[in-house]
Amino acid sequence: MSKYWSSMAKRAKPYIPGEQVNKTNIIKLNTNENPYGPSPKVAEAIKAEIGNNLRLYPSPTMDTLRESIGQYYDVQKENVFIGNGSDEVLAFSFMAFFEPGKKILFPNISYSFYPVYANIYHIDYEEVPLLGDFTIDVEKFFDSEGGVIFPNPNAPTSIYLPLEQIEKIAQHNPNSVVIVDEAYVDFAEASAISLTKKYNNILVIQTMSKSRSLAGLRVGFAIGHETLIEALIRMKDSFNSYPVDRLAMAGAIAAIEDEAYFEETTKQIIATREKTTEELQSLGFHVLPSSANFVFVTHPNVDAKMLYETLREEDILIRYFGTTFIQQYVRITIGTDEEMATLLGAIKRIIRP
């Protein structure tokens, strides 16, 4: 601390992202990245954009990318907001829709960036307990004072909440915004984007970091009623006119347009997830029913922290949170079949020495 820090700098409790390592030959299953790399068309599009144009500012309105995303999801570009990864979109959403003094609700086991934003912007919040099976207790999210936010599928639990339930939450919060953070939805049943046409208080946030394998490029987006999008644009234009660069924009458009590649790789990840789930279960793990590109698991006889640390020594990175309620759980990203086979081999050695 320093006398030069503002009260905001002093009260901040920054988010700690999963480790990024420079080592090669590591099996990296700790930050839910996609094992397959982006569509080959992404590289082509980026190469075409390199050159003298880099000297020029990107489009501050990002119309072309908004149109691509709109076309893919059958909404207008006025219903689409783009940001530097879904984290930035989330930050702008906390600024645009949540009010100091009006309590918002999110699950007590959830994305740990939410309390960080709330704290920075002086938003009161209540962490609503999940049910015993780690599902969301829908009625507890009715009649919020200041709004609702939750990931769907939830993170790190991986559990999906059906759209009828989301609809109920929106109906019971007519005066505030319900944010559905769909970072992992492409590995699940269905997006709530369809509901944004019926409910002008639902905002859906997605990222191109997971299913479209562009974590390195930083593109996230929100879809909702034009009035909500307008508020997000006001926040962006009060913060940074051009948060998404030219290469990221070109790459993101190519990724959205290559539907075949997206469908093939997503299907493969889901297949590997199902196979990994069965194998972990056969080793005695309890695996929460996953609709994401990761599994959240616990074992009755194996200490989660020990498992994480021992795998780390073998150059296999998984995520251990060590926080209340989930101290005996680890989160494992779904990699390639080969990576999962290596992981399972290592786990077998660790739990049955």
Q: Which of 23, 56, 164, 352 binds a copy of itself (CB under 8 A)?
A: 56
Q: Is 48 in the site for a copy of itself (CB under 8 A)?
A: no
- What is the closest distance, in whole angstroms, from the C-beta atom of residue 352 to a copy of itself in the complex? 32
Q: Is 323 in the site for a copy of itself (CB under 8 A)?
A: no
Q: How far apart are CA 282 and CA 138, in angstroms?
A: 32
- What is the closest distance, in whole angstroms, from the C-beta atom of residue 3 to a copy of itself in the complex? 6
- What is the closest distance, in whole angstroms, from the C-beta atom of residue 67 to a copy of itself in the complex? 13
**Complex with a copy of itself: residue 69 or 116, whichever CB lies closer:** 116
Q: Which of 215, 269, 317, 346 binds a copy of itself (CB under 8 A)?
A: 215
Q: How far apart are CA 216 and CA 171, in angstroms?
A: 37
- What is the closest distance, in whole angstroms, from the C-beta atom of residue 305 to a copy of itself in the complex? 23
**Complex with a copy of itself: residue 154 or 209, whichever CB lies closer:** 209
Q: How far apart are CA 195 and CA 87, in angstroms?
A: 22
Looking only at residues 95 through 134 of this chain, which bind a copy of itself when binding is defined by CB under 8 A?
A: 95-100, 116-117, 119-121
Q: Which of 110, 144, 158, 176 binds a copy of itself (CB under 8 A)?
A: 176
Q: Which of 25, 51, 132, 353 binds a copy of itself (CB under 8 A)?
A: 51
**Complex with a copy of itself: residue 111 or 134, whichever CB lies closer:** 111
- CB atoms under 10 Å from CB of 236, counted, come to 24
At 320, give phi and psi (nearest 5°). Answer: -120, 125
Q: Is 9 in the site for a copy of itself (CB under 8 A)?
A: yes
- What is the closest distance, in whole angstroms, from the C-beta atom of residue 166 to a copy of itself in the complex? 17
Q: Which of 84, 152, 157, 158 binds a copy of itself (CB under 8 A)?
A: 84
The residue count for binding a copy of itself (CB under 8 A) is 87
- What is the closest distance, in whole angstroms, from the C-beta atom of residue 118 to a copy of itself in the complex? 10
Q: Which of 48, 50, 131, 271 binds a copy of itself (CB under 8 A)?
A: 50
**Complex with a copy of itself: residue 9 or 306, whichever CB lies closer:** 9
- What is the closest distance, in whole angstroms, from the C-beta atom of residue 142 to a copy of itself in the complex? 17
Q: Which of 59, 135, 165, 342 binds a copy of itself (CB under 8 A)?
A: 59
Q: How far apart are CA 212 and CA 298, in angstroms?
A: 28
Looking only at residues 230 through 289 of this chain, which bind a copy of itself when binding is defined by CB under 8 A?
A: 230-231, 233-235, 237-248, 251
Looking only at residues 136 through 175 of this chain, which bind a copy of itself when binding is defined by CB under 8 A?
A: 175
Q: Is 36 in the site for a copy of itself (CB under 8 A)?
A: yes
